[in-house]
Amino acid sequence: MYTPIRIGTRESQLAVWQATQVREMLERKGIPAVLVPIKSEGDIDLKTPLYEMGVQGVFTRTLDIALLNNTIDIAVHSMKDVPTQLPRGVAQAAVLKRGPVHDLLVYKGDAEFLHNRDSVAQIATSSIRRKAQWLHRYPHHQIHNLRGNVNTRLRKLAEEEWQAAIFAQAGLERIQLRPEKSIVLDWMLPAPAQGAIVVASRENDEEALQICEALNDPDTALCTKVERDFLRTLLGGCSTPISALAEVEDGDLYFSGQLLSLDGRHKVEVEKILPLEKADGIGRIAAQEVLSRGGQSIADEIRAAGVKE
């Protein structure tokens, strides 16, 4: 009989939902597990934009510490929040089958502002990536900072005089909070690893690694690795206007990536299609192509602006 696996999770509704999925998957395999809620710095400070907090893995660091201190056995994260360089002693144990990857626009009133590109709409998001892509498409719109968990952001949208706010589709749908007035932004390329859930463990905990291996989805693991390689080669952090999406279809990997300037005016894109057996290094190759085609100057401007990686 196994000793219950201690699953570390943030306290937000979405984080608990994700950790519960892992617990239920383990229990279906006959492995008992319990949730251990832990408050993160990203949940405590809801005013400072993420890119100004000056810390890599703002939503994951507290769980990493609990893991290394042996307070928990595994930690469950939204993979897009996890730094591309894991802390020493922490290992990726499993990537679950991916959910919806796209962003979602939640709006009030009508959505006429989407069709009139000369309008001045008030749009809320704390994401540099979403802001840059939105301004590239709608340069006359004004962007407002929106922080907090999903419930907090929905409430703030209702209270403020904004037309709309941008959310991850997976986040709203997983906890059944997607409003009727919402649109999937299929033109907006998602953050690397968006919609994916990752399980981390101590790299020397062979029992936890072996147990979690059964939860791993190979296609999702490959696609998110390619996307995160692209991110890491360009700038390295999640608080940057970098987007990437890799998908497996009929034995091939389809990859799209882009880097935008902070104001959304300049964009360098790349697309690749290749067989799965040749896909492992494509994220780095695609990033180097972006840098060579004008992306280097954009990356230099982002660093000069002081955006944290």
d(CA 231, CA 193): 10
Residues 83, 151: one domain? Answer: no
Residues 146, 16: one domain? Answer: no
- What are the C-alpha distances in Å from 146 to residues 46, 66, 77, 182? 9, 28, 21, 17
Give me the domain span that covers residue 26.
Answer: 5-97+196-216
Tell me what pLDDT residue 269 has.
97
Residues 79, 210: one domain? Answer: yes
The answer to whether residue 16 is domain-embedded is yes
Percentage above 70 pLDDT, the chain: 90
Residues 76, 19: one domain? Answer: yes
Assess whether 103 carries a catalytic annotation.
Answer: no
Residues 93, 109: one domain? Answer: no
- What are the C-alpha distances in Å from 228 to residues 119, 194, 240? 35, 10, 13
Residues 93, 9: one domain? Answer: yes
The answer to whether residue 271 is domain-embedded is yes
**CA terminus-to-terminus distance, the chain:** 43
Annotated catalytic residue, options 43, 64, 81, 205: 81
* Banded model confidence at residue 85, pLDDT cuts 50, 70, 90: confident
**Residue 79: closest CA among 165, 168, 187, 188:** 168
d(CA 182, CA 176): 13
- H or E segment at 165? strand 164-168
The answer to whether residue 222 is domain-embedded is no
When the pLDDT of each residue in the chain is averaged and rounded to a whole number, the result is: 90
Tell me what pLDDT residue 305 has.
84
CB atoms inside a 10 Å sphere around CB 154? 19
Task: Determine phi and psi for 78, rounding to 5 degrees.
Answer: -65, 125
The answer to whether residue 226 is domain-embedded is no
Write b or e for each residue in 215-247: b if 16 or more Cβ atoms lie within 10 A of its Cβ, otherwise e. bbbebbbbbbbbbbbbbbbbbebbbbbbbbbbe
Residues 72, 200: one domain? Answer: yes
Question: What is the CATH number for 242?
Answer: 3.30.160.40
Residues 181, 64: one domain? Answer: no
* Banded model confidence at residue 48, pLDDT cuts 50, 70, 90: very low
What is the side-by-side strand order in the sheet with 164-168?
Answer: 142-144, 122-124, 164-168, 103-107, 182-185
Tell me what pLDDT residue 195 has.
98
Residues 240, 268: one domain? Answer: yes
The answer to whether residue 225 is domain-embedded is no
Average of pLDDT values for 211-239? 90
Tokens of 236: 């390295």
Q: What is the pTM of this model?
A: 0.90
Question: What is the CATH number for 168?
Answer: 3.40.190.10
Q: What is the pLDDT of residues 167-208, one digit of tens each?
A: 999 999 999 999 999 999 999 999 999 999 999 999 999 999
Q: What angle do CA 182, 185, 190 make, to 5 degrees?
A: 125
The answer to whether residue 203 is domain-embedded is yes
Residues 111, 175: one domain? Answer: yes
Tell me what pLDDT residue 174 has.
96
The answer to whether residue 221 is domain-embedded is no
The answer to whether residue 168 is domain-embedded is yes
Number of domains in the chain: 3
Residues 181, 235: one domain? Answer: no
| Contact present, 71 and 201 (Cβ < 8 Å) | no
Residues 13, 93: one domain? Answer: yes
* Banded model confidence at residue 148, pLDDT cuts 50, 70, 90: confident
